[in-house]
Amino acid sequence: MRELQKFTASYQRELDWQISDEDYQQTKESLLHNYMLLTTEVAEVAEEFRKAFNMVYKESVNGADPDVAFAEAKSLIQKDVGKELADCIAYICKFANFFEIDLEETFYEKMDEVKNRSNKNRKLPTY
């Protein structure tokens, strides 16, 4: 993760895509703009999932086994999901770099926190 952050910082500097830190107003606008771009990328991941679910539905209506149809749909969207997740990671790294957060360290700390939660084994409802 540190390598990704380092690469992202260099890449964004090269393209002049860093979050502005000129003054409060510029920083605020830059943070909000980049947050909007991140949420757009997250929505694009969701769009790929929607494509897969629609493929499965169409194949199932035509008599296909849903598990087989999903395996096929998953392989068809895999590359595009990867690209969209990479976009998300780039924006997350951008925020982490701006706030001087070591994502690798923070990630492992957070996973330990989650592991030790009392409600971690609660089952989610199925639909």
For residue 24, the domain's CATH number is 1.10.287
* pLDDT of amino acid 123: 74
- Number of domains, the chain: 1
Q: Is the pTM of this model over 0.85?
A: yes
Structural domain including 19 reads 2-108
The answer to whether residue 7 is domain-embedded is yes
Q: According to the model, what pLDDT value does residue 24 have?
A: 97
Our CA angle for 120, 38, 20, nearest 5°, is 120
- Please indicate, yes or no, if residue 119 is contained in any of the structural domains: no
Q: Are 34 and 93 in contact (CB under 8 A)?
A: no
Report whether pLDDT(119) > 80: no
